[in-house]
Amino acid sequence: MAVCHGCHKKFGLIEKRYKPKDDEILCFSCYEEYMNVLKKQQEEIQKQEAEELRIKEEELKKQQEVQRELKRQKKIEKMKKAKERKMKAEVRKKNKEEKEMFLKKQIIEMKSKDIAELIRMLGNKNPTLRARSAFLLGESRNKKAVRPLLEALKDLNENVVVNAVTALGKIGDPRALDDLRSFNNKKNIGKTAQFKANQAIHHLQRIRFESMAKMAVSNVREMSWQDFEDSVTEALHAEPSDTRTSDMGVDGITPEGIPIQIKQSDNIGRNVIDNFETALRRYYPSEKKVKKGIIVAFSFTRGAHVEVERARREENIEIKLVTVDEIIG
């Protein structure tokens, strides 16, 4: 007779039997208890799974909240940076406008500046001011600006160089010819600068030829002292002296730095030589061993030549006497 594996009772002939497993036979009450236990286990498992799912959902929710917060922070940071960039751009714009206003004001003020100040402005850090200075120096037609403008040809800013070349052409001093030719032969200059240099060279060549022709055909004795002095200075490729050196008795300076005195007279005598020796002593520094000078006139007396020789031999003062005929011839 069969026995229940749960309560170990013997089954009756007509009693229903339950077989939850292949090797087990249970009565109804034991089977019902077995099924209740199994149901509780399943409920426990479902409960545990539900709890795990809830925890996972909470963690996912927290992660999503963290992600949203990070995105929000990034958005705030992005907006903050955009605002900072906008403020910096506004500051830069304002600074640029103020700088442009200041620059315009300086350019306007430059029109009233003297030649020395404009020459100084050629060394300004701002290329716009350097270019404007070169332009205004050209408009001034002042020959004192020739040497500084020649130096400006070395400027790295093309606009400054173009203005300097144009200014040299406007001033019309033939002394700039050799430097302009050398500049024009360079390979690394811009097309505009080269074009302006060619214009200036042709203009200065014409002025030089006209000056030479004027001295050759006109009666130089009847020229005004200023025209005579300018013609001699240009013929010697010299620079007119400034106020300081002219007060010393120096009318011009050669490219080599030698002082020139120009006399529209005949028979220049010893007294003129003596006075020029004094001017040379004042012009040159005391440590200069040999002091050189040039006097231009129509003619010189024997006494002038004797004094020149004495000064060379005894005082190391070398004065060259040049006649107008030598310059014209």
As a whole number of angstroms, the distance between CA 30 and CA 24 comes to 11
Of 141 and 274, the structure prediction assigns the larger pLDDT to 274
Residue 152 resides in a domain: yes
Q: Residue 152: what pLDDT?
A: 92
Tokens of 233: 């200075």
CATH number of the domain within which 300 lies: 3.40.1340
Q: Is the pLDDT of residue 215 over 70?
A: no
Task: Write down the residue that tokens 């505009």 correspond to.
Answer: 192
Q: Beta-carbon neighbour count of residue 284 at 10 Å? A: 17
Residue 124 resides in a domain: yes
Q: Is the pLDDT of residue 270 over 70?
A: yes
Q: Residue 111: what pLDDT?
A: 55
Same domain assignment for residues 193 and 241: no
8 Cβ contact list (under 8 Å, min separation 6):
none
CATH number of the domain within which 211 lies: 1.25.10.10
As a whole number of angstroms, the distance between CA 205 and CA 172 comes to 9
Residue 48 resides in a domain: no
Same domain assignment for residues 212 and 294: no
Task: Please say which residue of 189, 217, 245 terminates a domain.
Answer: 217
Same domain assignment for residues 294 and 321: yes
The SS3 call for residue 266 is coil
Single-letter amino acid, residue 67: Q
Same domain assignment for residues 197 and 208: yes
Q: Residue 26: what pLDDT?
A: 78
Domain count, the chain: 2
pLDDT digits (tens, 9 = 90+) for 238-266: 888 765 555 577 888 887 889 999 998 99
Q: Beta-carbon neighbour count of residue 243 at 10 Å? A: 6
Same domain assignment for residues 300 and 254: yes
Of 237 and 124, the structure prediction assigns the larger pLDDT to 124
Q: Is the pTM of this model over 0.85?
A: no
pLDDT digits (tens, 9 = 90+) for 58-113: 999 999 999 999 999 999 999 999 988 988 888 888 887 777 676 556 555 655 56
Q: Which domain holds residue 172?
A: 115-217
pLDDT digits (tens, 9 = 90+) for 118-134: 888 899 888 888 998 89
